C-alpha cells in the first residue's frame, strides 16, 4: 500500500485547516478591533425619558451662568444650531458662542411647556416640543415671555456624555 497519497491528503488538509484558522483569527481580530472602538457605547445603559428631559435642565443651567462658552460646551463639535432670535444658521463652535453672547444678554430662563421624547437607539435621542423663555431687556430691565417650538437631537459620546448635535428653536407662528 502506497502511503504517499494519504500523506499528501493529510498535508493538504492540515494546510487548509491552518489557512482557515488564520483567516478566522484575522477576521476575529478585525471585528474585535472595530468592536473595541464602540465598546463603551454598546454596553451603555438604555437612556430614560427622565434622563433626556434632564439634558434640557443642564442646558438651561448653563444659560444661567451667563457664559456662552459653557453653553457651547453642550454642543458637539459639528452641531447645527437654528436659533430662535437669529436668522443665521450656526454650524461651528464660534458661531454658537457668538449667538449665545447676544442671547445671554437677555438673561433667558427657559421652562418646558410640552415635551415629546423619542429614543432612537442607546446613543441617539430627540427631544421636541414647546418651551417658554422669560427674557429681561438688558437696557430697560423689562421682562417678557417668548413661546417657541424646539427640537434637540442628542448623541451620546464615547465617554458617555450627551451632546447636542442639532438644535432648532423658532417662535410660535401665532404667538
List pLDDT tens digits, range 67-116.
999 999 999 999 999 999 899 999 999 999 999 999 999 999 999 999 99
Residue 70's pLDDT is 98
Residue 11's pLDDT is 44
Cell matching residue 73: 460646551
Residues written for the chain: 175
According to CATH, the topology of domain 49-171 is: Nuclear Transport Factor 2; Chain: A, (3.10.450)
List pLDDT tens digits, range 10-59.
444 444 444 444 444 444 444 444 444 444 455 568 899 999 999 999 99
Most confident of 8-12, 162-166, 169-173: 162-166
- Going by pLDDT thresholds of 50, 70 and 90, the confidence category of residue 4 is low
Residue 102's pLDDT is 95
Domain ranges of the chain: 4-37, 49-171
More confident residue, 44 or 122: 122
Task: Enter the pTM of the model.
Answer: 0.75
Amino acid at each position: 500500500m502506497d502511503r504517499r497519497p494519504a500523506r499528501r491528503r493529510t498535508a493538504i488538509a492540515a494546510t487548509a485547516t491552518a489557512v482557515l484558522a488564520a483567516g478566522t483569527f484575522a477576521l476575529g481580530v478585525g471585528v474585535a478591533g472595530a468592536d473595541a472602538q464602540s465598546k463603551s457605547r454598546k454596553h451603555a445603559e438604555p437612556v430614560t425619558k427622565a434622563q433626556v428631559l434632564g439634558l434640557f435642565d443642564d442646558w438651561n443651567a448653563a444659560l444661567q451662568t451667563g457664559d456662552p462658552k459653557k453653553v457651547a460646551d453642550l454642543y458637539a463639535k459639528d452641531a447645527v444650531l437654528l436659533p430662535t432670535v437669529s436668522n443665521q444658521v450656526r454650524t461651528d463652535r464660534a458661531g454658537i458662542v457668538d449667538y449665545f453672547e447676544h442671547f445671554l444678554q437677555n438673561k433667558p430662563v427657559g421652562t418646558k411647556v410640552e415635551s415629546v421624547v423619542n429614543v432612537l437607539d442607546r446613543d441617539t435621542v430627540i427631544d421636541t416640543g414647546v418651551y417658554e423663555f422669560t427674557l429681561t431687556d438688558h437696557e430697560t430691565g423689562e421682562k417678557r415671555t417668548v413661546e417657541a417650538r424646539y427640537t434637540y437631537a442628542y448623541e451620546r459620546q464615547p465617554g458617555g456624555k450627551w451632546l447636542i448635535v442639532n438644535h432648532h428653536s423658532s417662535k410660535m407662528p401665532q404667538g
